[in-house]
Amino acid sequence: MQPSPPAPTLNCTQCGGELHPDESQIFLTCPYCGATVYLDKAHVVFHWYVAPTLNETQARESLMRWMAGNQTVKDLDRKARITAQAFQYFPVWYFKRGSREQEQIELQPAAATSVTELRHISIPAGDLRPYEASLEAQSLAPSVPLEAATSWAMQGAGAGVQVLESALVHIPLYTFKYVYQNQPFTALVEAGTGATLANIYPAKAEAPYLLAGGVTALVFLSLAALPVLGSLIGSESGFTVGLTICLGLGVLAVPALLALAAWVAAKV
Ligand SMILES: [Zn+2]
């Protein structure tokens, strides 16, 4: 019988102890120091999770507040129909990169997602807890290799900047699918902070505001032209007549234009 070649040595990130994982085992607790680590090919990194502070009802309330807010189209909270919701611990690669001058946290989704906004959530270091095996059933396994994520995280980094630390973090995410005007959308609620994330959503339209502003400018420009026209037609008396009409119509136009602006604000 041929002896099998020795497996590459893997050492604990925290204590340096030699790890001997079973084949296909990726989530691991160090037998020497108890650190939770993740094995990505030949790399051993710390494995953390962020505990949810919101339950499902609170996550839904957080979504509703975002839908009722200023970014989204008016009454989205009442007009959108939520079609599905699910909870999962989603994997992100967590990099501390920096130079001697400054350090910075970079996040990269460690699994496929349409919501790349995920990169911009904030994970305070104090919220990181050692990953627990009991969360595995609710956790999505990473599918983006650490090395690929590292090279993305280092894109645009200046000279002298390097990755000081990398870790795998499972973050608590509620995924909501909803339909608005027959179009499907996805929004995520990060259950650590309650932040709502979405790349594409029914946004407030700008066109009606621009149109109302344009109408207002046109009306006042036309009114201002009246005295000028008057003076061209009938010199001094023409100017007075033109000015009188201009002021008279102006007094009428102001409330009408204000009403238009209010109507647009209420509709959009
Ligand atoms: Zn250890």
DSSP string, 138-173: GBPPP-S-HHHHHHHHTTTPPTT-EEEEEEEEEEEE
Residues 55 and 154 in one domain: yes
d(CA 43, CA 166): 10
Residues 99 and 216 in one domain: no
Residues 63 and 110 in one domain: yes
CA 128 to centroid of ligand 1, rounded, Å: 17
CA 182 to centroid of ligand 1, rounded, Å: 53
**C-alpha distances in Å from residue 211, one per residue of 18, 214, 245:** 69, 5, 25
Q: What is the pTM of this model?
A: 0.71
**Higher local confidence (pLDDT), 41 or 16:** 16
- Pairing mode, strands 43-50 and 128-130: antiparallel
Residues 186 and 232 in one domain: no
* Residue 92 CB coordination number (10 Å): 25
CA 167 to centroid of ligand 1, rounded, Å: 15
CA 161 to centroid of ligand 1, rounded, Å: 28
- Asked if residue 162 belongs to a domain, the reply is yes
Domain C-terminal end among 197, 215, 231: 197
CA 45 to centroid of ligand 1, rounded, Å: 11
Residues 107 and 230 in one domain: no
Q: Domains in the chain: how many in total? A: 2
Q: What is the dihedral of CA 152, 202, 59, 124, to 10 degrees?
A: 30
CA 15 to centroid of ligand 1, rounded, Å: 4
CA 27 to centroid of ligand 1, rounded, Å: 13
- Asked if residue 37 belongs to a domain, the reply is no
Residues 214 and 191 in one domain: no
Look at residue 87 in the predicted model and tell me its pLDDT. 96
Tokens of 145: 């290799």
**Higher local confidence (pLDDT), 175 or 266:** 175
- Whether 143 shows a pLDDT value over 90: the answer reads yes
Residues 111 and 209 in one domain: no
**C-alpha distances in Å from residue 19, one per residue of 77, 119, 174, 182:** 51, 31, 34, 53
The average pLDDT across 86-110 equals 90
- Asked if residue 94 belongs to a domain, the reply is yes
Residues 62 and 134 in one domain: yes
Q: Spell out the alpha helix ranges (H) of the chain.
A: 56-68, 76-79, 146-153, 207-267
- Asked if residue 34 belongs to a domain, the reply is no
d(CA 72, CA 80): 11
Residues 167 and 252 in one domain: no
d(CA 106, CA 96): 6
- Asked if residue 142 belongs to a domain, the reply is yes
pLDDT digits (tens, 9 = 90+) for 206-249: 666 677 777 777 777 887 887 777 777 777 777 787 778 778 88
pLDDT digits (tens, 9 = 90+) for 176-211: 999 999 999 999 999 998 899 998 888 877 666 677
CA 32 to centroid of ligand 1, rounded, Å: 5
Place of tokens 């009722």: 68
Domain C-terminal end among 153, 181, 197: 197
- Asked if residue 90 belongs to a domain, the reply is yes
- Asked if residue 79 belongs to a domain, the reply is yes
CA 47 to centroid of ligand 1, rounded, Å: 12
Look at residue 217 in the predicted model and tell me its pLDDT. 78
CA 49 to centroid of ligand 1, rounded, Å: 18
- Whether 169 shows a pLDDT value over 90: the answer reads yes
d(CA 196, CA 61): 11
Residues 220 and 191 in one domain: no
**Higher local confidence (pLDDT), 161 or 110:** 110
Largest CA distance in the chain: 118
- Whether 60 shows a pLDDT value over 90: the answer reads yes
Q: What is the dihedral of CA 125, 117, 74, 205, to 10 degrees?
A: 140
Residues 56 and 179 in one domain: yes
- Asked if residue 39 belongs to a domain, the reply is no
Look at residue 58 in the predicted model and tell me its pLDDT. 95
Residues 237 and 187 in one domain: no
Name the residue type at position 82. I
CA 178 to centroid of ligand 1, rounded, Å: 44
Q: Which domain holds residue 68?
A: 47-197
Cross-strand bridge partners of residue 84: 177
CA 19 to centroid of ligand 1, rounded, Å: 8
Tokens of 245: 């009409």
Domain C-terminal end among 179, 197, 215: 197
CA 90 to centroid of ligand 1, rounded, Å: 25
CA 143 to centroid of ligand 1, rounded, Å: 25
Q: What is the dihedral of CA 140, 145, 148, 153, to 10 degrees?
A: 50
